[in-house]
Amino acid sequence: MVLRPLDNCEGCEFSPYQILILLLQTRESYLSLLTENLNKNYERCCIVDPPQHTLSVTDIEACAIDMEYEAFTSNTVASLYRRLLSKMVSYVPNVK
């Protein structure tokens, strides 16, 4: 998966100060990982229990952007941000 452009990280352009050395590339990396996990989970769930209303890749990306932005704006310390994003990624069920 190609990393998404910086302008897709909501709030990137409004952050004049980095969160304690938290680079925008880190946010992109977590956003990409979260998007990938959500997409894989959605595909697996569709096999087990097909949804009444399908989601597009854009819908899943929008969800990932909102989740990442929530984590970014609610944490002022880089380590807390990383920990919360790691939790979000791990909470996406690993359906087999």
pLDDT mean over 13-29: 61
Q: Give the distance, in angstroms, between the CA of residue 50 and the centroid of all CA atoms in the same chain.
A: 23
Tokens 């970014």 found at: 72
Instruction: Report the predicted TM-score, pTM, of the whole model to 2 decimal places.
Output: 0.62
Angle between helices 24-48 and 57-74 (to 10 degrees): 130
Say what the pLDDT of residue 80 is: 78
Closest-CA residue to 87 (of 12, 41, 33) = 33
pLDDT tens digits, residue range 67-84?
Answer: 988 887 776 677 777 788
